[in-house]
Amino acid sequence: MRAAIYKKYGAPEVVQILEVKKPIPKNNEVLIKIYASTINSADWRLRSLEVPKGYGVLVRLAMGIFGPRNKILGMELAGVIEEIGKDVRKFKVGDEVFASCMFGAHAQYRVLKEDAAIALKPDNLSFEEASALSFGGSTALLFLKTLGDIKIGEKLLINGASGAVGVAAIQLAKYFGAEVTAVCSGANAELVKSLGAEKVIDYQKEDFSKNGQTYDLIMDNVGNASWSRVKNSLNETGRLLLVVAGLLEMIKAAFVSNKNGKRVLTGTPKDKSKDLQFLAELVEKGKYKPHIDNIYSLEEIVAAHSYVDSGRKRGSVVITMLPSKLTMTI
């Protein structure tokens, strides 16, 4: 099968398309023929090793000191089950699915355990859209619901509202009944309004931490809304949700949270199976939709990585494994 392989950390050019062995499912695994995947901020970080402050050594230890142990990036996918192991009960050959995985989705095939984070693809999404359903959505669910305990009528500010996590967070916050202020560049104002944001702050013209407004929740998807910068923009029991946090910020988070009615919360999504199910149901109800910026073919993966590296993508960048480039029109 064809796969995008990276043998060393670095610029987009470290990724090359090579022929590798097609995986064979074990008894409790399914073989998914991948139709689409995404290149997201996790792929960018793990390829370039541009990680939040303080994590450089830890990430190298976890991912490979001299080069990546897992040589195929790709954390989410959509495709069709082509083969199942003899003990598999949850899925059958021909099922159209989407999934979240640690690595391996920038390839034509991926095996996953049947109880991994896999769900049936909603009928009203293309494979390209479904491939972009899990990363931003499960991150936004963790921060808004599990950690932030967002409630109807609460005021939420989303800093970095136009990336994959931001566009998911706007839609989920609206679903949970919150009032959303989106911070983005002027170029993305229409996009965030179309997804449900009531107010938009252009970060190139206004500093949200200095305009006197306060919020029940501030979600930081950029990494520039530290506690010291934004604490006065939080209500008395406000929560600062640090989606991007350096090691020091993480340590400080626990300390600040103990001493104040205000809290700082951070983390990473763990078991995503339930999230995928929840997101698929919202899609079917017409309450949620992944936003796709651009679609590249697998052969164009270096260009796709370069675009993600720009830091300017809106929602998700998709790569398609199908021979014809566009199976959907955007």
The minimum distance between CB 190 and ligand NAP, in angstroms, equals 12
Assess contact for 128 and 78: CB atoms under 8 A.
Answer: yes
CB closer to ligand NAP out of 15 and 140: 140
Spatial distance between the Cα atoms of 296 and 301, rounded to a whole number of angstroms: 7
Write out the binding residues for ligand NAP, residues 204-243 only, by CB under 6 A: 221-224, 243
- Read off the tokens for 26: 């074990």
Assess contact for 36 and 128: CB atoms under 8 A.
Answer: yes
Q: Among residues 37, 171, 181, 188, which is the contact residue for ligand NAP, using CB under 6 A?
A: 188
Phi-psi region of 204 (alpha: psi -120 to 50; beta: other; left: phi over 0): alpha
The answer to whether residue 165 forms part of the interface with ligand NAP (CB under 6 A) is yes
Q: Among residues 18, 203, 214, 277, which is the contact residue for ligand NAP, using CB under 6 A?
A: 203
Select the span of 24-32, 60-68, 94-102, 307-315 touching ligand NAP (CB under 6 A).
307-315
The answer to whether residue 99 forms part of the interface with ligand NAP (CB under 6 A) is no
The minimum distance between CB 266 and ligand NAP, in angstroms, equals 7
The minimum distance between CB 306 and ligand NAP, in angstroms, equals 13
CB closer to ligand NAP out of 165 and 283: 165
The answer to whether residue 10 forms part of the interface with ligand NAP (CB under 6 A) is no
Q: Among residues 311, 325, 326, 330, which is the contact residue for ligand NAP, using CB under 6 A?
A: 311
Spatial distance between the Cα atoms of 222 and 247, rounded to a whole number of angstroms: 15
Report which DSSP code applies to 8: S
- Helices (DSSP H) in the chain: which residue ranges? 41-48, 56-63, 127-131, 135-141, 164-175, 189-194, 227-230, 247-259, 273-284, 301-309
Write out the binding residues for ligand NAP, residues 14-33 only, by CB under 6 A: none
Give contact residues for ligand NAP (rule: CB under 6 A): 40-41, 45, 139, 159-160, 162-166, 183-185, 187-188, 203, 221-224, 243-244, 268-269, 311-314
